[in-house]
């Protein structure tokens, strides 16, 4: 029997060092035409993304990648979006392919986008299918904004470099959201069938019930499977744990209420079905690193 393939962690620092692209402490930009390609062996082991987000955009040529055990054939106009915890394995050669990579190392940056529901809908779409074929218009915006960001990162004496880059990425995000929820997903070379279907159904349930229930058992019962089967399937299909996807919704809604409403912390706790305000506070602090009151105070003028 074939042994399970080893998965290596891919850290932001290691990709900055290995690819030798242009970077700040928060962002990395890499164009395969401008920088000597990072040598990789065909069929090398998979890597698990250990930082928030990475975008791979194919401009010329073609290659094959495997994302969370699903294989994709990338051609010009295709974009692969990876979220922390997902796995990627290069299967095809990159030497004759023109592509760019954009990586973000700021865990809180995406949460700063005001439209919580849009953010989660887009994230769900990416978890369901990591690779998309973009329209010509969106591809034009991607390359134009990438060039602007790449020019900005080259500025040596710009004290607000990260802030400017964040603004460009927000623009890119909103352009993407207008299409990515209805864009043509790339079909895997081979479908995982039942596993992919479970992921799709799970991602339809979470937005409806996350305020009511955060337990894996609840969603497993809805899908008529065991909690273990659900957890294993979601991990295999998306590279993430089912409980983390549920948590994303709870935390995003809590942040939205804290900054976008006059609700008291007790009211927010009740709306998210926590037994007590104290339990809600512990849950929030466990995932964000501060209490709900501290988070509201720190961000009230942003």
Q: Would you say 102 and 132 are in contact if contact means Cβ atoms under 8 Å apart?
A: no
What is the pLDDT confidence band of residue 2, given thresholds at 50, 70 and 90? very low
- The domain segmentation of the chain, as residue ranges, is 8-185, 194-299
Tell me, what's the pLDDT at 226? Answer: 93
Name which residue leads in pLDDT, 108 or 210: 210
Q: Which fold has domain 8-185?
A: Jelly Rolls (2.60.120)
The top-scoring range by mean pLDDT among 53-67, 131-145, 259-273 is 259-273
pLDDT at 3: 44
Average predicted confidence (pLDDT) for the chain:
82
Two structure tokens written together for 113 = 């986008």
Is residue 274 pLDDT above 90, yes or no?
Answer: yes
Give residue-wise pLDDT tens across range 40-56: 544 467 888 888 888 88
Higher pLDDT pick, 34 / 102: 102
230, exposed or middle or buried, with CB in 10 Å at 0-12, 13-18, 19+? buried
What pLDDT, in 10s, does the model give residues 102-117? Answer: 888 876 666 566 566 6
Q: Name the CATH superfamily, with its identifier, for domain 194-299.
A: Homeodomain-like (1.10.10.60)
How many residues in total does the chain contain?
Answer: 302
DSSP 3-state of 64: strand
pTM for the model: 0.66
pLDDT per position as a tens digit, 143-175: 899 889 988 988 888 889 988 998 898 888 888
User: What's the token pair of residue 209?
Assistant: 């019930």
Please give the pLDDT value at position 278: 95
Query: How many angstroms separate the CA atoms of 258 and 264, rounded?
Result: 8
Retrieve residue 155's tokens.
């500025």
């Amino acid at each position: 029997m074939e042994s399970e393939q080893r998965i290596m962690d891919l850290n932001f620092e290691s990709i900055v060092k290995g690819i030798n692209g242009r970077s700040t402490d928060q962002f990395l930009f890499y164009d395969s035409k401008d920088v000597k390609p990072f040598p990789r062996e065909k069929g090398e082991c998979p890597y698990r993304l250990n930082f928030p987000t990475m975008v791979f955009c194919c401009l010329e040529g073609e290659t094959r990648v495997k994302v969370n055990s699903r294989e994709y054939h990338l051609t010009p106009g295709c974009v692969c979006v990876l979220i922390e915890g997902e796995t990627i394995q290069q299967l095809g050669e990159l030497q004759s392919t023109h592509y760019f990579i954009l990586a973000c190392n700021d865990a809180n940056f995406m949460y700063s986008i005001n439209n919580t529901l849009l953010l989660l809908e887009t994230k769900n779409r990416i978890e369901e299918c990591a690779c998309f074929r973009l329209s010509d218009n969106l591809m034009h915006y991607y390359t134009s904004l990438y060039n602007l960001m790449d020019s900005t990162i080259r500025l040596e004496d710009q004290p607000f470099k990260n802030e400017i880059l964040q603004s460009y990425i927000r623009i890119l995000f909103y352009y993407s959201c207008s299409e990515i929820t209805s864009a043509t997903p790339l079909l895997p070379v081979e479908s995982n069938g039942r596993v992919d279907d479970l992921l799709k159904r799970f991602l339809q349930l979470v937005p409806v019930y996350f305020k009511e229930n955060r337990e894996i058992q609840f969603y497993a019962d809805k899908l008529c499977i065991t909690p273990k089967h659900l957890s294993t399937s979601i991990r295999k299909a998306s590279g993430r744990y089912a409980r983390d996807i549920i948590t994303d919704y709870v935390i995003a809604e809590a942040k939205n209420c804290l900054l976008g409403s006059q609700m008291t912390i007790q009211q927010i706790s009740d709306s998210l079905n926590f037994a007590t305000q104290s339990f809600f506070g512990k849950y929030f602090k466990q995932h964000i690193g501060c209490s709900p009151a501290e988070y509201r105070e720190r961000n009230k003028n942003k």
